[in-house]
Structure 1
Amino acid sequence: MRMITIVLPREPKTRVQVELGLAGARHQEAELRRDDDLPTVFSETDFDGRPLLNAKGGLSAKHTRQVQEFLGQNFSRKLSLAEMAAICDLSAYHFARAFSKTFGVPPHQYVLGLRLDFAEKLLVDRRMSITDIADLSGFSSQSHFTTMMKKYRNATPQQVRARQGRSQANE
């Protein structure tokens, strides 16, 4: 086993130690040197939505603010990459790359995070069905919502609702 230390690009003061097995050490080290791979290596659920301003090749501060505002208001409806790119007057390809550099995740992943955060807040209200919450949050179906919640939050909507119910009862 070999320990390596990685400095996270968005948080230069934060150092993460990773233990690598000998068989995959060279392959893993090569992957970990690339900034684009760090979010997937460390967990996609840890994304906090804060942009890295002035990232080389990223969006300008003005465009970052405009995109955040637009997505904050429109995340629950179907969005196209071209529509998001039009806000910044960029091509879809250039926008996707710049967005990823700025936010650390692709646009789709960012929107998914907004939808899941909103859905978790709605799950507190037990009068709303999970199907209605999925629809209000912008998911195509309850099944899609459940799959994404399980994949990125490690719990089904029902489990999140039960957990929130227990935490409210303990207060």
Structure 2
Amino acid sequence: MGLAMPVGFDQSRIVFQGNAEGSLGLNLIRDESGGQEMPGEDGVPGPVSGPNSRQPTLNAKGRLSVRAASRVRQFLDENFTRKLALAEMAAVCGLSPYHFVRAFSRTFGMPPHQYVLGLRLDFAERLLADSGMTIADIAHSSGFSSQSHFTTVMKKYRQMTPLQARMGKLSAKFR
């Protein structure tokens, strides 16, 4: 039993879904506002572009799509200073936490937790260099649970303590 595809059919509008028997079925992505297929610019039914359109979240290599990667990066850039749950990050991409971690790691080259720590450390280093805030205040402003946790992470990933980083930045300013 074969499916004949119309000439010029845009295959990026195809998703595969398993059914109850475990075999694959072929479905067109449908508009979330009612399940109706809408004609695209080429006249072939497909998804409506815009915020309500469904786009594949993963590409063929198991990485996040460009759109999903952009959305999660923006979400993390805006929220890294607060406590983040893995399920919350996964929901941004519409994936389960398990699949999100795998796809995120393949896309960004590191797991989400390590990526968030990097954002927090970069932000903290800017505060260390440019503000008179205490190290404890910088730790909390950067999203670390405590000054101790901040110091431990900074030593592990930057090979220096926050105080050493601050002193190094200060001495660089006066050279």
Please indicate the TM-score interval, normalised by the length of the shorter structure: 0.5 to 0.7
Name the SS of the counterpart of 2:120 in structure 1: helix
In structure 2, the residue matched to 1:148 is: 153
Deviations 1:123-170 (A, max 9, x none): 013520000000000000000000000010000000000000011001
Query: What stretches of structure 2 of length at least 5 have no aligned partner?
Result: 1-58
Runs of 4+ in 1 over 3 A off after TM superposition: none
Indicate conservation of the 8 Å contact 1:99/1:107, yes or no.
yes
Name the SS of the counterpart of 1:124 in structure 2: helix
> Hey, what's the Cα distance between the residues in 2 that align with 1:63 and 1:167?
39
- Pairwise CA distance, 1:55: 7.6
Does 1:158 pair with 2:160?
A: no
In structure 1, the residue matched to 2:114 is: 109
Larger Rg: 2
> Hey, what's the Cα distance between the residues in 2 that align with 1:125 and 1:110?
23
Indicate conservation of the 8 Å contact 1:55/1:102, yes or no.
no
In structure 2, the residue matched to 1:29 is: none
What is the letter of the counterpart of residue 63 of structure 1?
A: A
Identity among equivalent pairs (%) = 65
- TM-score, normalised by the number of residues in structure 2: 0.65
In structure 1, the residue matched to 2:85 is: 80
Deviations 1:72-122 (A, max 9, x none): 000000001100000111000000000000000000000000000000000
RMSD: 1.4
Please point out which of 69, 72, 76 is paired with 1:64.
Answer: 69
Name the SS of the counterpart of 2:144 in structure 1: coil
In structure 2, the residue matched to 1:10 is: none
- TM-score, normalised by the number of residues in structure 1: 0.67
Judging by fraction of residues, say which structure has more helix: 1
> Hey, what's the Cα distance between the residues in 2 that align with 1:125 and 1:119?
10
103 and 161 in structure 1: CA distance in 2 versus 1, 3 angstrom threshold: same
Query: What stretches of structure 1 of length at least 5 have no aligned partner?
Result: 1-53
What is the letter of the counterpart of residue 145 of structure 1?
A: F
* Paired residue total: 118
